[in-house]
Amino acid sequence: MPVEEFVAGWISGAVGLVLGHPFDTVKVLGFFKGMSFPIASVALVNSVLFGVYSNTLLALTATSHQERRAQPPSYTNIFIAGCTGGLLQAYCLAPFDLIKVRLQNQTEPRMQIGSSTPRYRGPVHCAASILKEEGPQGLFRGSWALVLRDTPTLGMYFVTYEGLCRQYTPEGQNPSSATVLVAGGFAGIASWITATPFDVIKSRMQMDGLKGRKYGGMLDCMASSFRQEGIGVFFKGMTLNSARAFPVNAATFLSYEYLLRLWR
């Protein structure tokens, strides 16, 4: 099994993350200052995404990354490979994402005299507390919504990326850096716009269970969010998600393509 894609996915995920970090911090107003935990988790998850994507395409079309410029795979195969990568990356992401969301939503100031101590002291303490209080399956709370968020939207991610690259690249050639940046950026936006409704539900499911159970399940969470807040609830954070998605995914694809060409 070719491993370059896993390594390139690893590094490019970290590069994208550094660019997205200010947006993530804005999203939650000053929390999540440390970056080593997200770097490690995003790099791992991105490596699974790109590694599985490329190896699924290899299985479907018998072409390696290098051969795919001359023999471009069909969009159906690209979509299937993207969904497969998305499905597996969602499972790897689930525990990390849960910890991130739990820490981000912990709004008690960290060190103020007289304030209650925050429930989780950091990522490791958070993971350990969830394990102790809810067992291993507690770390996968909300993972169904995460899988639904990521599987189709990452299929779309690679279809958008490939489609835009092909549009602006003469046949048989490699796309230019500018093309890769723009195609990667728009792939991120397209994927985040469609992912936002499930992103909202996912985060609510992940927070559920902290102070008793509020929702009977994912469908109940959707229905009660809709009843209380109207249709707009499914679009919460869409603008911020899209603004973050462009630089993150432009940088991710550029470094991914660059590394793979370097190692050829």
Ligand X SMILES: C[N+](C)(C)CCCC[C@H](N)C(=O)O
- Which residues from 76-105 bind ligand X, rule CB under 6 A? none
- Which residues from 171-200 bind ligand X, rule CB under 6 A? 188, 191-192, 195
Q: Which alpha helices (DSSP H) does 105-176 contain, by range?
A: 123-134, 143-167
- Which residues from 29-68 bind ligand X, rule CB under 6 A? 46
- Please choose, out of 3-11, 74-82, 146-154, 226-234, the segment that lies near ligand X by the rule CB under 6 A: 146-154
**Minimum distance from residue 67 beta carbon to ligand X (Å):** 25
Which one of residues 24, 150, 162, 257 is an interface residue with ligand X (CB under 6 A)? Answer: 150
Q: How many amino acids of this chain bind ligand X (CB under 6 A)? A: 13
Distance separating alpha carbons of residues 264 and 262, to the nearest angstrom? 6
The three state secondary structure string of 175-238 is: CCHHHHHHHHHHHHHHHHHHHHHHHHHHHHHHHCEECECCCCCHHHHHHHHHHHHCHHHHHCCH
Is the CB of 183 or the CB of 248 nearer to ligand X?
A: 248
**Minimum distance from residue 158 beta carbon to ligand X (Å):** 11
**Minimum distance from residue 248 beta carbon to ligand X (Å):** 5
| Cβ neighbours for 177, distance < 8 A, ≥ 6 positions apart | 254, 258
Is the CB of 187 or the CB of 207 nearer to ligand X?
A: 187
Distance separating alpha carbons of residues 190 and 180, to the nearest angstrom? 15
Which single residue is written with the structure tokens 């716009």?
A: 193
Is the CB of 102 or the CB of 149 nearer to ligand X?
A: 149
- Helix-strand-coil percent breakdown of the chain, rounded to 5? 75, 0, 25
222 in contact with ligand X (CB under 6 A): no
149 in contact with ligand X (CB under 6 A): yes
Is the CB of 46 or the CB of 225 nearer to ligand X?
A: 46
The residues that bridge with 212 in the sheet, in sequence order, are: 209, 210
* Contact between 221 and 227 (Cβ < 8 Å): no
Which one of residues 54, 84, 153, 179 is an interface residue with ligand X (CB under 6 A)? Answer: 153
Distance separating alpha carbons of residues 211 and 106, to the nearest angstrom? 13
10 in contact with ligand X (CB under 6 A): no
Is the CB of 153 or the CB of 179 nearer to ligand X?
A: 153
| Cβ neighbours for 104, distance < 8 A, ≥ 6 positions apart | 27, 28, 31, 32
Q: Contact positions toward ligand X, by CB under 6 A?
A: 46, 149-150, 153-154, 157, 188, 191-192, 195, 245, 248-249
